[in-house]
Amino acid sequence: MNYFDAIILGIVEGLTEFLPVSSTGHLTIAEKMLGLEVDDPAVTGFTAVIQMGAIAAVILYFARDIWNIVRTWVLGLVKPEYRGHRDFRMGWYIIVGTIPVGIVGLAFRNVIKDDLRSLWVVGYALIGWSVVMWAAERTARQDRSEKRLNLTDAVVVGLFQCVSLIPGVSRSGATISAGLFRGLDRVTATRLSFFLSIPALLAAGIFEMKDALGGNISVGETIVGTVVAFVVAYATVAWLLRFVAHHPITWFIPYRVALGVLLLVLLASGVMSAT
């Protein structure tokens, strides 16, 4: 990997991490086009680390909300009067909603890093999960705001987040769809998706850091990729929140399906190899 590769992958990560189009799928495609070994532990670790740049963008964008949640949750542990506050409950929702993906991610770590790192998987998942996104919007009531969020919502969205470990599904596509199935309005579902992404992706980045820095990828390349991902992701987060307030996530389906079909055609014709 060189600095050009790091910049390209940082841009791809920043653009796709929070859009329902699958950042892992796009990164896998980009890595293949750049001539990188997609199943190389160093490359896999690099992509996990630069995700931390995207998460830093979310933390900065929602800094006030996150501070209020953390502060109220901590105070609520020792002061009962804070336990009825919405931010206290949100703190628990984030913790409980993150547990499933942590368990599944650790239990199937080798499968995710090796067996699922195939462009065949990406192609089929891009198309297949588009059906779920369509169904989520088709059945969405959107009659519940963040004030009516409950623990069951957090558990269901957290379970759907586990499916996003399959490249091509999309973490935001999975979690926003889950929120819509639960009757949440689109902005609330998207905000919950952002909040649940923070501990999950931070943990993944820290866990994989040793592989990224232990291979042939320099610290400088990793830093550049992370910074680029941060800048691009911040702009993407701001845009997505405005977009979902007025548009359904089905707008992303034609792109997902077209990319998935193109990918499968290229693989079937031998123009591109799966790994």
Q: What does the pLDDT read at residue 47?
A: 85
Please, how many CA atoms are within 13 Å of residue 62, restricted to the half-sphere of its CB? 22
The answer to whether residue 35 is domain-embedded is yes
- Confirm if 61 and 238 have CB atoms less than 8 A apart: yes
Going by pLDDT thresholds of 50, 70 and 90, the confidence category of residue 51 is: confident
- Confirm if 188 and 244 have CB atoms less than 8 A apart: no
The most distant pair of C-alpha atoms in the chain lies apart, rounded to whole Å, by 64
Residue 109 belongs to domain spanning: 3-268
The answer to whether residue 273 is domain-embedded is no
The answer to whether residue 274 is domain-embedded is no
Question: What three-state secondary structure class fits 245?
Answer: coil
The answer to whether residue 275 is domain-embedded is no
Residues 6+ apart with CB under 8 A from 156: 178, 181, 182
* Sign (positive or negative) of CA dihedral 167, 173, 175, 177: negative
Q: What does the pLDDT read at residue 46?
A: 85
The answer to whether residue 59 is domain-embedded is yes
Distance of alpha carbon 192 from alpha carbon 94, whole angstroms: 8
The answer to whether residue 135 is domain-embedded is yes
The region of weakest confidence among 111-125, 165-179, 181-195 is: 111-125
**pTM, whole model, 2 decimals?**
0.90
**What digits encode the pLDDT tens for the residues 66-114?**
999 999 999 999 999 999 899 999 999 999 999 999 999 888 888 887 7
The region of weakest confidence among 36-45, 89-98, 117-126, 249-258 is: 36-45
Across-strand partners of 144? 184
> How many structural domains are present in the chain?
1
The answer to whether residue 96 is domain-embedded is yes
Going by pLDDT thresholds of 50, 70 and 90, the confidence category of residue 272 is: confident
The answer to whether residue 130 is domain-embedded is yes
Phi, psi of 141 (to 5 degrees): -90, -35
